Amino acid sequence: MKIAVLYGGTSGEREVSLSTGKGIIKALENKGHEVTSIDFSPEKIQEILKLNVDLVFIGLHGRFGEDGKIQGLLDMLGIPYVGSGVLASALAMDKAKSKQLFSLNGLHTAHSEVYDVTDASRFSSIEDEIKQTFSIPFVIKPNQEGSTLGLTIVKNEKDILQGIKTAAHSDSMILVEDYVKGREVTVPVMGRKGEEQALPVIEIIPKNDYYDFDSKYKPGGSEHIVPAKISEALTAQLQEDAVLAHQLLGCDVYSRVDFIINDQSEPVILEVNTLPGMTPTSLFPDSAQEVGLSYDDLIQSFVELSQANKEKKV
């Protein structure tokens, strides 16, 4: 097939996306596809408008890649692509909206509030509201951002204002939520619509206090345990919750769902990643390896699932 890979992008996750893109391009070439690679930014929209390919593989992360915008453009052009569509992408990117959906459908989420931070003169009053609503420790983060960029774990009241400013640098809306102490796990999900299955649960043991950007992407920043050393019952619960979250948002082909297992051994859902990191050493490929899917085969399976969905629509 003729496949275009979009990667790079302009978000804070650009460096990760460059690695993801390189991995995807190599895997597709290994599988015999003719690959066009585009280090994408909104200024390069003409390249997308002129594309003549069978499929687009989106290797972007964050804004203009994971938020539904590029998906909307490709839909208007009638070009099929791998992964979730506009609505699922936008919902997953909006942490507050997705949490509302999860909560309404019985998934356990941390208590949270959203604040509009477009007007910097309101930061002090927002700080006061947060003090009245939340008990330390709690988390302040951008409502729409990935890779824990702009996130602050507030352990002292004097850090609240700086936490607001840090998150506001990345987004006009910030999310404040209770800090849930526990084990960090993630569950990859893939499959045809309505037939999705969860891959083995991965436990993430960060070298830092939490799974921050450095833990995710620096060599030796974290340890991945696949499958996670948890009970069969908890494994089943996490996998069931992950598939449900994927389906609630209307995700397509694949996603990765992040959880914290709290002190009561309950899964607390954090977020769904519609375009999770896909470098050869990323979490999703690690889990796939456990069920005998090599990196190249995993990328090829996403292509085949996308083709199957396209034929279903036709």
CATH number for the segment(s) 91-107+181-313: 3.30.470.20
Residues of the chain with CATH 3.30.1490.20: 112-178
Q: Poorest-confidence range of 8-17, 18-27, 79-88, 164-173?
A: 8-17
Reported as a single tens digit per residue, the pLDDT across 58-109 is 999 888 889 999 999 999 999 999 999 999 999 999 999 999 999 999 999 9
Residues of the chain with CATH 3.30.470.20: 91-107+181-313
Mean pLDDT of the chain: 92
Distance in angstroms (rounded) separating the CA atoms of residues 259 and 226: 15
CB-based burial label for 187 (10 Å; 0-12, 13-18, 19+):
buried
* pLDDT band of 308, cuts 50, 70, 90: confident
Question: Stretch 301-308: mean pLDDT, rounded?
Answer: 93
Phi/psi at 182 (nearest 5 deg)?
A: 165, -165
* pLDDT band of 215, cuts 50, 70, 90: very low
Best CATH choice for the domain 112-178 from the list 3.40.50.300, 1.10.268.10, 3.30.1490.20, 3.40.47.10 = 3.30.1490.20
Check residue 213 and give its pLDDT: 47
Check residue 212 and give its pLDDT: 45
DSSP states of 2-34:
EEEEEEE-SSTTHHHHHHHHHHHHHHHHHTT-E
Check residue 211 and give its pLDDT: 45
Reported as a single tens digit per residue, the pLDDT across 137-180 is 999 999 987 546 789 999 999 999 999 999 999 889 999 999 99
Active site residues: 13, 147, 217, 256, 258, 271, 273, 277
Helices (H), the chain: 14-30, 45-49, 69-77, 86-93, 95-104, 123-133, 160-168, 213-217, 232-249, 283-290, 295-313
> SS3 of 155, please?
coil
* pLDDT band of 207, cuts 50, 70, 90: confident
Burial 109-142 (b: 16+ CB within 10 A, else e): bbebebbebeeeeebeebbeebeeebeeebbbbb
Check residue 314 and give its pLDDT: 45
Antiparallel, parallel or unpaired: β 173-178 and 2-8: unpaired
Question: Stretch 212-228: mean pLDDT, rounded?
Answer: 67
- pTM of the predicted model as reported, rounded to 2 decimal places: 0.90
Check residue 280 and give its pLDDT: 83
Residue 193 has pLDDT above 80, yes or no: yes
Residue 217 has pLDDT above 60, yes or no: no
Residue 62's Cβ-side half-sphere holds a number of Cα atoms within 13 Å equal to 24
Check residue 209 and give its pLDDT: 59
* pLDDT band of 312, cuts 50, 70, 90: low
Residues of the chain with CATH 3.40.50.20: 2-82
Check residue 269 and give its pLDDT: 97
2-82 placed in CATH 3.40.50.20: yes
